[in-house]
Amino acid sequence: MEQGELSYAEEWEPLPGQYLEPGTVIDGKFRVLSLLGEGGMGAVYRVQHLMLGKDVALKTFSRSALTEENFLRFQREARALAKLNHTNIVAVYDCGLSQEGIPYYTMEVLGGCSLAERIKKDGPLAAGEAVHLFQQLCRGLNLAHSKGIVHRDIKPGNIFLTTGGGADADVLSKIVDFGIMGLTDASAAGQRLTAGGAVFGSPLYMSPEQSSGAPVTVRSDVYSLGCTLFEALTGVPPFRGGSAVETIAMHRSSPLPTLREVSGGKAFPPELEQLVARMLEKAPQARPADMKEVELALRRLSLSPLLPTGSVGEVDSSAGAESPFFTPGRVCIISAIALILLSLAAALFTTSLSGGAVVREAPGVRLADTSYYDAIDPTLVKVQSQVKGLQNCFSSAEFAEFQRVVSAERYGEGVRLLQAAQNKRKFSEDSLERAEILSNLGVSYSGLGQYGRAEQNLEAAIRIFEKKYGPRCEHLAPCLMFLAACKTKQHQFAEAEKLFQQALSIGEASFGKDDLFVADCLNGLGQLYIERGAPELAEGCMRRSLSIYEGAAIPEGDVRRRAMISERRWLNGIRNR
């Protein structure tokens, strides 16, 4: 096997001597260079396209593994797979017949390792890593489902981890082997079931309806992805019996263990436990309807201050050497912003040395409308979550130091660390790393009360995000919300209101109307209206924000609990006037 290349058939039992020799020409177009993997149903080779001189992976099947029905299915699915042009699906280039009449298709050659290999080497993924990677898988599978293709065999061995390349190289998760198990009726050793052309897949990850031969739907893939996510988080699949039959029976009737139970008491965010449980419901109709719904839930989790990112491991991406493979998942949304933004009314209140709230009048504000609301000054709010995107900008020690100083409200030191990181690594002008630096400089300068500098950095970050992802991308929402906060501090209410509305619109579209980000944004907009002297507008924002907060499981110590108390107090004051 070539160093750093995928063994596309890592779970097949080897069949020595039953493969094509290097130099063999297939279909007059491809010269065999080396064997990447082989098994009971065929083999995968590294080949060179004779005319283009390009290396690709070629997968072919043994004649004995194909029936006439499966041959026709292969033809139909190969054509469909060629249409799945997506970053998170292995690219299929060509298909045809060898001189002996055996079907084949070619696909991209990937460097890296499978998720199964990563788990085996390094153990479970940190929750933040898993959430980042599985969002990508949802997007790839959603495209396949929109084309009428159900994978049927989602599992860690069919998910490949690689890098995107380029200056902003990101970790990519790619789905491989679409529909391959649906093409054959051969049985393989171990817990793999492919009988009668009706049931295909791997029992460790197979939905109850799939194992019974019932029609396989999008929700069947949701179940299999849930099993894979369970294993990525815990290191083991949710059910494992002593045989394939026993494992299938457990999927159908055994209660699902929690992530915490399987992990020996390790805590996971409640929302993550709930999502995995929903994906693994026995009844298909009780699961998320599609991959878009799963992706949205994962996206919400990626913003959670409770989501641990953990340490980033290395994967064995070659046959005989270890090389660093995993870089931190780039989550380019600053979750700290949502925490700091819960109060914008510092112009209405100052905090005394003893910690009490002292009311002072601001222009255009009636104290009767504001005295029930205790503001949380942003300089007093500790950053309670990792700023995930910054992990790509700092070394591990530098990142830990940045977290420490910002959590201690030492924003001046935070600014110096961010500037040093930019000067040391000299990120390009439009790189995502620079956007992360700029965003966090905006947060830090605001903590120092230097709102002009905060605005300059936030606006520069917004331009980069817009260029990379477009004017409605989710990355913009927190930056716009924090920029609105800065405008509010300077009594630029018209601009602030417009920015809040823009952040709210993007947030609702990206995260859902009941997401905590939306509640944070409504909280800030409500405080703007209070300061502007429009309590009737503020009331609607505060009531909706409070409703979202109360419907969420906000943990003790989270700054949002203080926001909830303040909102209730202010609304009660309005009601009792």
Question: Shortest CA distance to 223 belongs to which of 306, 313, 146, 287?
Answer: 287
CA dist 299 and 131 (Å) reads: 8
Going from the C-alpha of 326 to that of each of 126, 160, 169, 319, 330, the distances in angstroms are 12, 12, 11, 17, 11
Backbone angles phi, psi at 427, to 5 degrees: -65, 145
Residue 375 three-state SS: coil
Predicted confidence at residue 264, as pLDDT, reads 87
Task: Give the least confident one: 39-48, 91-100, 301-310.
Answer: 301-310
Task: Give the least confident one: 74-88, 110-124, 328-342, 495-509.
Answer: 328-342
Residue 221 CA from chain centroid, whole number: 17
Tell me the average pLDDT of the chain.
74
CB atoms within 10 A of CB 502: 19
Predicted confidence at residue 296, as pLDDT, reads 87
Predicted confidence at residue 136, as pLDDT, reads 92
Residue 451 three-state SS: helix
What does the pLDDT look like over 69-127, one tens digit per residue? 667 766 766 777 777 888 889 888 888 877 777 788 888 888 888 899 999 998 999 88
Burial pattern 391-410, b for ≥16 Cβ within 10 A else e, equals: bbbbeeebbeebbebbeebe
> Could you give the residue ranges of the DSSP H alpha helices within 235-347?
244-253, 259-262, 270-279, 291-302, 335-340
Predicted confidence at residue 283, as pLDDT, reads 93
Instruction: Assess whether pLDDT exceeds 70 at residue 337.
Output: no
Q: Which residues contact 569 (CB under 8 A, 6 or more apart)?
A: 372, 373, 374
Predicted confidence at residue 179, as pLDDT, reads 52
What does the pLDDT look like over 197-240, one tens digit per residue? 344 568 899 999 988 888 889 999 999 999 999 999 999 999 99
Per-residue pLDDT, averaged over 467-480, amounts to 87
Q: Is the dihedral of CA 447, 450, 453, 454 positive or negative?
A: positive
Q: Tell me which DSSP letter residue 254 carries.
A: S
Instruction: Pick the more confident residue, 99 or 571.
Output: 571
Predicted confidence at residue 291, as pLDDT, reads 94
Predicted confidence at residue 228, as pLDDT, reads 97
Predicted confidence at residue 409, as pLDDT, reads 67
Instruction: Assess whether pLDDT exceeds 90 at residue 258.
Output: yes
Instruction: Pick the more confident residue, 155 or 105.
Output: 155
Query: Identity (one letter) of the amino acid at 501?
Result: Q
* Residue % of the chain over a pLDDT of 90: 27
Instruction: Assess whether pLDDT exceeds 60 at residue 128.
Output: yes
Predicted confidence at residue 480, as pLDDT, reads 92
Instruction: Assess whether pLDDT exceeds 50 at residue 343.
Output: no
Q: Tokens 């290395």 belong to which residue?
A: 314
Instruction: Assess whether pLDDT exceeds 80 at residue 292.
Output: yes
Instruction: Assess whether pLDDT exceeds 70 at residue 500.
Output: yes
What does the pLDDT look like over 162-197, one tens digit per residue? 875 443 346 789 998 775 433 333 333 333 333 333
Residue 574 three-state SS: helix
Query: Identity (one letter) of the amino acid at 576?
Result: N
Question: Shortest CA distance to 6 belongs to which of 107, 92, 78?
Answer: 107
Q: Which residues contact 506 (CB under 8 A, 6 or more apart)?
A: 472, 473, 474, 476, 477, 480
Predicted confidence at residue 510, as pLDDT, reads 86
Predicted confidence at residue 222, as pLDDT, reads 97
Contact 531, 490 (CB under 8 A): no
Pair of tokens at residue 310: 């953990």
Model-level pTM? 0.53
Per-residue pLDDT, averaged over 554-574, amounts to 76
Between strands 103-107 and 55-61, the pairing is antiparallel
DSSP string, 147-160: TT---S--SGGGEE
Per-residue pLDDT, averaged over 253-272, amounts to 90
Contact 525, 497 (CB under 8 A): yes
Q: In what order do the strands lie in the sheet with 113-114?
A: 113-114, 159-163, 171-175
* Residues with catalytic roles: 153
CA dist 74 and 95 (Å) reads: 10
Angle at CA 306, nearest 5°, toward 303 and 312?
A: 85
Instruction: Pick the more confident residue, 449 or 134.
Output: 134
Q: Tell me which DSSP letter residue 220 carries.
A: H
What does the pLDDT look like over 361-373, one tens digit per residue? 222 323 233 333 3
Instruction: Pick the more confident residue, 473 or 62.
Output: 473
